[in-house]
Structure 1
Amino acid sequence: TERKDFPLLQGKEFLIQADFKNALGQAFTDAPRNFKGKVKEILELKLTDNSARALFIATLNAVMRYMGAADKTIHCKNEEPELCAREIVRTIIDKYSTDIKIGIVGFQPAIIDNFSKTLTAQNVKVTDLDKDNINKIKYGVLIWDGRKMAKELFRTCDVILATGSTVVNDSLSQLISLSEEYQEPLYLYGTTVAGAGKILNMERLCFQSS
């Protein structure tokens, strides 16, 4: 991709990969670590930090892929994130029209840019946890603090689109609760939530992954 502001390219996030009997699962995290051992050891991890949760989620994705219970567990690359962003925008707009406000959880530049161009920037709200993004204007959109503004995002938007890495940073449960409280549809995107999304029966938009 020509964009240089993806968190992965800036070293803000890392993509870890689990290999279970040649089935691969991945997870985005800000706290990567290496592991080699048995699934039993992963199941015994205390899921109290991003590092442990990332290991667990990547392994879950790999095991569920091996079992045929999850697909699209390998992240897209090159120009594919741009294509995926356009497909996500098209899918949401085809379902809800252009007369909506979209709330995006997590700084994903291609998705934000495409929604901003299609819906206009004032109809796009974004939250993020990276202090380097918070209170900055990106693609015409002011980035809100995800720790403080999650409720406001649901209160002011019609549809919420959240990064799957919320399952690693432990904010997904709050988003699900807010979705129920405000009766707003919640979509997830990305490979991190491939397995958990199936278990939770949530809608995931991930068009270019493999």
Structure 2
Amino acid sequence: MTTQELYRRLRQELKRLVDTHRLNESSIELKSRGLSPEEAIGHTRRKDYPILAGREIMLQARFGDALGQAFTDAPSEFCGTLDDVLSLDTENDPHGRALLIATLNAVMRHTGDIDHTVHCKNDDLERCAEAYATRVREGFGTPRIALVGYQPALTSRLSQEFPLRVLDMNPQFVGSVKSGVTIEHGGESYRDAVLDWSELVLCTGSTLCNGTFVNFVDIGRPVVFFGISGAAAARVFSLPRFCPCSC
């Protein structure tokens, strides 16, 4: 699957939902905005989450009473209809891409196709990390894990129990040492860490927003997606997702 095919398929799914549920006949408008760090993840014990460093923002789409969220480094304020979203250039414009992802999460939440589309907050981030350690231990034993997307609580907890390599694209983190693990460049270390070394990949759904999501589909080893950005995409492509503390 290419990046173009990825966004085309997500747009097709949104169009299908609009037609199936006659959402284009509704007077409800889509509203989206960036959330402040406190609105997005609350007050956290750890202070090095990407959203706190200013690299990313949480884009939140509301459709009716349903919320859909997506992390992005291309924030965009928007108010319009679903037809407006379908007309966006999602293949070349990162703003349109983020809006599509958050919108599809909100609409599929509205139609009842998915849940867990709102990020956990406060101490739930630590509980999420503990739940992930349990999930990995019970489902995979003690695998070599490639964590794609630096997440402080997951990095700290998983590094205590499993062989772990962490990849990220944020230059603020690459090369730094977190919980005893050196953060590697997501592009430069992809082949070595993911394809050659890992036995399990835990991948952030935020890879949807920069198109690297396609690098973690059908790669010959188990991949589990975490976070709220990939809620709809995981359903559309029938991919495993574990996001235990989101709502």
What is residue 131 of structure 2 aligned with on the other side?
Answer: 87
What is residue 187 of structure 1 aligned with on the other side?
Answer: 224
1-side partners of 2:216 and 2:120: how far apart? 25
CA shift, 1:42, in A, is 0.6
Structure 1 position 75 matched with structure 2 position 119? yes
Structure 1 position 167 matched with structure 2 position 185? no
Deviations 1:68-101 (A, max 9, x none): 0111001110101110111011101111112x21
What is residue 196 of structure 1 aligned with on the other side?
Answer: 233
Q: Which amino acid letter does the alignment assign opposite residue 121 of structure 2?
A: K
2-side partners of 1:204 and 1:57: how far apart? 16
What is residue 86 of structure 2 aligned with on the other side?
Answer: 43
Match of 1:9, SS state, is: coil
1:1-210 matches, within 5 Å, as 1-47=44-90, 48-98=92-142, 100-119=143-162, 123-154=163-194, 155-177=196-218, 179=219, 183-210=220-247
CA shift, 1:133, in A, is 1.1
CA shift, 1:50, in A, is 2.6
1-side partners of 2:123 and 2:94: how far apart? 28
| Structure 1 stretches of at least 4 aligned residues deviating more than 2 Å after TM superposition | none
% identical equivalent positions: 38
Q: Which amino acid letter does the alignment assign opposite residue 199 of structure 1?
A: V
1-side partners of 2:87 and 2:106: how far apart? 17
Aligned length: 202
1-side partners of 2:140 and 2:238: how far apart? 21
Q: Which amino acid letter does the alignment assign opposite residue 191 of structure 1?
A: I
Unaligned 5+ segments in structure 1 are none
What is residue 35 of structure 2 aligned with on the other side?
Answer: none
Query: Which one scores higher on RCO, CA 8 angstroms, separation ≥ 6?
Result: 1
Unaligned 5+ segments in structure 2 are 1-43
CA shift, 1:132, in A, is 1.5
Single out whichever of 47-56 and 71-80 deviates more from structure 2: 47-56
Deviations 1:96-124 (A, max 9, x none): 112x21000011010010011122xxx10
Match of 2:172, SS state, is: coil
Structure having the higher Rg: 2
1-side partners of 2:114 and 2:241: how far apart? 11
Q: CA RMSD in A?
A: 1.0
- The TM-score with structure 2 as length reference comes to 0.80
CA shift, 1:148, in A, is 1.4
- The TM-score with structure 1 as length reference comes to 0.93
Q: Which amino acid letter does the alignment assign opposite residue 17 of structure 1?
A: Q
Q: Which amino acid letter does the alignment assign opposite residue 189 of structure 1?
A: F
CA shift, 1:199, in A, is 0.3
Match of 2:217, SS state, is: helix
Match of 1:143, SS state, is: strand
